[in-house]
Amino acid sequence: MKISLIVTTYNWKEALAITLESIKEQTLLPYEVIVADDGSSEDTKSLIEAYQLNYPTRLVHSWQEDKGFRLAASRNKAIAKAQGDYLIIVDGDLYLPTSFVASHSSAAKENCFVQGGRVLLGPNISKKVMEVGYKPHFFSADIRNRHNMLNSELLSNWFTKIKNNDKSTRGCNFALWKKDAIYVNGYNEDFEGWGREDSEMVIRLLNSGLDRIYLKFKAVGYHIYHKESSRGMLEKNQEIYQKAIDQCLTKCVNGLDKYTS
């Protein structure tokens, strides 16, 4: 199984560097890392080029022009470039513990997709992570959802369940087979601005007959603190999401196929 790790980013090269550094330390390296860039400036390009000189696995920069928040399009372009069979999609403001990729690999099952968890690093510990490379651990201060930091085979076996709904969807830590992403035509690019594009994708995957694995106590991302994105497009995005539910949609029209056909 070839794993493509897709990392989304936009004009925050300092956080992206934390993510790329944590990927280098994985016990299981992905086949490739694809940075899905929603229009960052030249400094992000320069950062990635510097990493490409000596990165332990294939590192690809998938960039699109900055025309506002277009996360769905950015992810679709990265998926189209992916050479792996299995996609792990994370945000470029996560510190990934060393077992992250290996845990996702062991959780992958046919006819399923995986929702991973996260912990929220507060502003104080985030500053330490960013400025001095501090590595968060269970007893670190300034952390929310601390229990998610437990990495336990036993607890994971107990608490990991099939949950076929879109509750607690976290697009920052999500995994699926590339063939399933192609089948549902990827992310719906009618979504612009923050909100609901991840949940709508989950609905279409479920409508396609796949099961959703809600993975606990494994493959958790540590989310670096930042201010929340604007919710200005949420009402419109909610309507697109609701349409997928009401019409039992499995595919979107404005999606991945424009980059793969």
Give the chain's domain count: 1
Strand partners, 3: 86
| pTM, full prediction | 0.96
Residue 233 has pLDDT above 80, yes or no: no
What mean pLDDT is predicted for residues 32-43?
97
Instruction: Please determine, for residue 195, whether its predicted confidence score (pLDDT) is greater than 80.
Output: no
Q: Taking the CB of residue 137, how many other CB atoms lie within 10 A of it? A: 10
How much is the average pLDDT of 21-49?
97
User: Angle at which helices 13-24 and 123-132 pack, to 10 degrees?
Assistant: 70
Q: Which domain holds residue 151?
A: 3-259
Alpha helices in 65-136 (DSSP H): 71-81, 100-107, 123-132
Stretch among 63-67, 89-93, 179-183, 235-239 having the lowest mean pLDDT? 235-239
Share of the chain above pLDDT 90, in %: 87
CATH code, domain with 11: 3.90.550.10
Residue 208: what pLDDT? 98
* CA angle centred on 86, ends 24 and 216, rounded to 5°: 75
Strands 112-115 and 211-214, sheet pairing = parallel
Question: Is residue 230 very low, low, confident or very high in pLDDT (cuts 50, 70, 90)?
Answer: low
* Count of CB atoms situated within 10 Å of the CB of 259: 15
Strand bridging mode 3-9 / 86-91: parallel
Over its C-alpha atoms, the chain yields an Rg (Å, rounded) of 17
Confidence bin at 207 (pLDDT 50/70/90): very high
- Which pairing describes strands 143-144 and 118-121: parallel, antiparallel, or unpaired? antiparallel
**Least confidently predicted of 33-47, 111-125, 182-196, 245-259:** 182-196
Query: According to the model, what pLDDT value does residue 2 have?
Result: 97
pLDDT band at 229 (very low <50, low <70, confident <90, very high): low
